[in-house]
Structure 1
Amino acid sequence: MAIGVLSLLGFQLVDSAFIARLGTAPLAAHTFTFPLSFLIIGIQVGLGIAIAALVSRTLGERDQARAQRLGTLVLLLGTAIIAVLAWLLWWIQVPVFNWLGADAATRTLIRDYWAPQLLAAWLGAALYFGYSLFRAHGDTRLPGKLMVLTSLINLVLDPLLIFGLGPWEGLGLPGAAWATALAFSCGLLILGRRLVRTDWLAWQGLGGELARSARPFAGIAGPAMISQLMPPLAAMLTITVVAGLGETAVAAWGLASRLETLSLMVVLAMTMSLPPWLGRCYGAGDWDQVRRLMRLALRVVLVWQSGLGIVLALTAPWVALALSGNPDVRDDLSTLIRFLLPSYALLGICMLVVSAGNALGWPLRAMLMSGARLFVFYLPCLWLGAQLGGLTGLAMGAATGNLLAGLAAWLLLRRVLLNPRRKAVSFV
């Protein structure tokens, strides 16, 4: 999963790097779409968490027939929900991007890019739901391989569709979205063929299963989606703060956001691969194994993210040079890297605790922790830093918010999730 996440996030960073070669204005337009793209991703991840949790717990209880019905239901409903959301985001784009601070010229660039980007987001969500089902059944190899494959396809198509080849003129900014859509389509074809060969789906008794599972599914998916929707809302508020620092700062922040997700690849892989394992332990009532898994995961996150953050902070000028050709954007990006990247060790701990909370029957506390991370620690520190010190202050404030959130999550984990007196709760 780490290899797959690296490739998947790598092609998002490649998208931004290629778009940066088009100029500051297209890169800024691309950055303004991040909050709404994160909104779609937040809902799909929330649904994916519920898929993995319910199916893995059911498998832990050795109820194969119910796991088949659950898998079918969540695939059908999940893709329908994301389709409706994409349609809604297309129709409200003008007031939303205007509120985010995009001027008329930037909104024109966004409009040509937004339709294929929404299509790509829907295809990516459908692919992600398939990944969640495979992970719930203990298969992380196929999702990892498909992430690598789709990333390679996107890497090949990006320059062709953005810049063109020979006499054929490229599509510019929309070309990046079309490249992603085609890559995800190839992944869906392969995953669909593999899924047909399994016995993980069932088409009988779906109505009764929907009535039976709607409440427990909503009990997990609801708080999980709210937790996942908080980052897009925070991203919108962050963009409004960054936009006040100028177009160059917005472009640099967009590249830093891509680099953030790439640098968190191990954490993201663990938040996807660990919950199904924890869910099976939950279903079997094996809390000693849960505690052993979580302690190991925390050590890995702390050591890996600390080392990576220090290395990237020390090499910040060269990393910025590789990602942007604009000297002003490079300077701002270098500043952001120096302060933000080392703080992701504590951010990773917070992400892992939230993910574990959803898998272990504490979705409400996981949601509250996610909200505290963003709206109690991160955003207030970021805003205060921007007011006091411009871009440098903003970077320092964001880093401080990540550190405080990580410490709070660690305390929650010790007092609640890993409490030795805690007993398993039966899954209804």
Structure 2
Amino acid sequence: MIFGIGAVMSVQVVDTFFVGQLGTDPLAALSFSFPVALTLASVSIGLSAGAASLVSRAIGRGDRDRTRQLASDSLLLTLAVVLVLTTAGLLTLEAVLGLLGASGEILDMAMRYSRIWYLSLPFLIVTMVCNAMTRAGGDAFWPSTIMVSSALLNVIATPILVFGIGVIPSLGIEGAALATLMARVISSLMALYLVIGRDRLVVLAWRDLRRFTRSARRVLGIGIPAAVGNASNPLGMAIATAVIAVLGSETVAGFGVATRLEAFAILPMLALSASIGPVVGQNWGSARADRVALAMKTAFGFCAGWALVLALFFWAFGQPIAALFSAEASVTEQAARYLWIVPISLWGYGIAIIAAGAFNALGKPLIALGYSLTRTAVFYVPLVWIASRLDGATTVYGAIAVANALAGILVAIDSLYRVRKLARA
């Protein structure tokens, strides 16, 4: 899962790298698009969490027929939801980007990129849900292989479409979005083959409406809180972007570079939040609460160690790495400043997302949502807003670090207590 999620995150890093060569304004346009893209991608994570939770517990109970029913209904529900999301997103795109602070030529570029990105959204969500169901059965290799293959295609196609080669014209920022679309179409076809052709998890047959409705309610009962929880981080980032926007396009571009690098740097913690679901779900279905608690403690400990590694790395190399993504010294300075302050606190963010993933797998989505909102709504957004009123970007970055740390402490204590309590019940 580290390799697979790393491949997914590389799409944003690759786009940032090549679009950054076009200038500060295109990079700022991409930065405004990033929170929108992450927010909607969170829906795919929510749906996949709901499907994987139900499927993994059914597998743990050894109920093969129920497993197929839940998997098939989950995929059908996914197709219905993605149609609504894509349509609504395209209709509200300009208004949303405007609310984030994009205007003028930057708004125009952000819209051109985002329109194509929206067309790739259905393929992203289908891939995520299919891969989650495959992992729920214990196979993380092929879902990760699909994600790596998709990322490699994106790496090859992005510079060709952005800058042009031979008879292929230079498409600029739109070329980056088109490369993403191509990669996601292919990955969705591969993921569908796994659940339909290889594993026979999904059965293509007429669905009984009442049975489908019951399954959909169960998936959405976990999926909606999970989607809201996962969306809380990019929404918080969007608020921070809007706050920082008043400081100029260089600051927005630097913040965008730093947050993309951060998203790539925390991929081991993202991988743990994805892979802990099947472990927790199957063991809970088999009445092994002791293994659930051990998995969570081990994952929390890893987060602390990894955050220290990240802090040391970015203290030493943050500025030269940021310089690779922009030729503007002011943009590099802003990105480096973020990378010097925030990474040491990322253990708190890791604990929050891992605990949320575990409790989604336990069928306790509201508790999982509470952990996500503890970081974003209780600490991140209020502290960023207060910091923005006191000083500039540096103070905002310090507020983000404090929010991560406070959330991590509270979530770690509460989640382990709740697992022990559920086990006794």
Residues 276-299 of structure 1 show CA distances to partners (whole Å, capped at 9, x for unaligned) of 111011112210111121122122
Residues 405-420 of structure 1: matches in 2 within 5 Å?
Answer: 405-417=407-419, 419=420
Could you say which residue in structure 1 is the equivalent of 2:4? 4
Aligned length: 423
Distance of aligned partners of 1:219 and 1:169 in 2 relative to their CA distance in 1, 3 Å threshold: closer
Deviation digits for residues 85-129 of structure 1, max 9, x if unmatched? 111111112222222111122221123222211112221111111
Between the aligned partners of 2:54 and 2:289, the Cα distance in structure 1 is 18
What is the Cα deviation at residue 332 of structure 1? Answer: 0.6
Question: What residue number does 2:284 align with?
Answer: 282
Match of 2:52 in 1: 52
Which residue number in structure 2 is paired with residue 349 of structure 1? 351
1:194-273 equivalences in 2 (<5 Å): 194-195=194-195, 196-202=197-203, 203=205, 206-273=208-275
**Given the alignment, which residue of 298, 301, 304 partners 2:300?**
298
Quickly say closer, same or farther: Cα 1:300–1:31, change in 2 above 3 A. Answer: same
CA-CA distance at 1:361 after TM superposition: 3.0
Q: Distance in 1 between matches of 2:217 and 2:112?
A: 40
| Whole-angstrom CA distance in 2 between matches of 1:424 and 1:272 | 26
Identity of aligned residues (%): 30
CA distance, structure 1, for counterparts of residue 96 and residue 397 of structure 2: 25
1:6: how far off? 1.4
Question: Which sits farther off after the overlay, 175-184 or 221-230?
Answer: 221-230
In the other structure, the counterpart of 2:365 is 363
Is the contact made by 1:386 and 1:397 (CA closer than 8 Å) also made in structure 2?
Answer: no
Task: Answer yes or no: is the 8 Å Cα contact 1:287–1:424 preserved in 2.
Answer: no
Alignment partner of 2:422: what SS? coil
Shift of 1:398: 0.9
Contact in 2 for aligned 1:50/1:217 (Cα 8 Å):
yes
Is 1:24 aligned to residue 24 of structure 2?
yes
Q: CA deviation at 1:74?
A: 1.0
Q: State the AA in 1 paired with 2:246.
A: G
Moved more, 390-399 or 319-328: 319-328
CA contact (8 A) 1:24 1:251 kept: yes
CA contact 1:313–1:342 (8 Å) conserved in 2: no
The answer to which of 40-49 and 97-106 deviates more is 97-106
Q: Deviations over 1:192-239 (max 9, x none)?
A: 333313221223654343243344323212321221232343233222
Give the counterpart of 2:327 among 325, 328, 352. 325
Letter in 1 for 2:359: G
Q: Unaligned stretches of 5+ in structure 2?
A: none
| 1:40 aligned residue | 40
**TM-score, scaled to structure 1:** 0.94
CA contact (8 A) 2:315 2:339 kept: yes
Aligned partners of 1:204, 1:58: CA distance in 2, in Å? 22
- Measured on the aligned residues, the alpha-carbon RMSD in Å equals 1.7
Displacement of 1:42 after TM fit?
1.4
| Distance in 1 separating the partners of 2:115 and 2:99 | 19
Asked whether the 8 Å contact 2:127–2:192 carries over to 1, the reply is no
Partner AA of 2:200 in structure 1 = D
Write out aligned runs for 1:104-143 (5 A): 104-143=104-143
Which structure 2 residues correspond to residues 122-201 of structure 1 after superposition, within 5 A?
A: 122-166=122-166, 168-195=168-195, 196-201=197-202
Match of 1:64 in 2: 64
Contact 1:101–1:240 under 8 Å retained in 2: yes
CA distance, structure 1, for counterparts of residue 294 and residue 62 of structure 2: 23
Cα 1:201–1:168 shift into 2, 3 Å: closer
How many angstroms does 1:154 deviate by? 0.4
Aligned mates of 1:377, 1:109 — CA distance in 2 = 33
Mapped to 2, the partners of 1:12 and 1:236 lie a distance apart of: 16
The normalised TM-score by structure 2 is 0.95
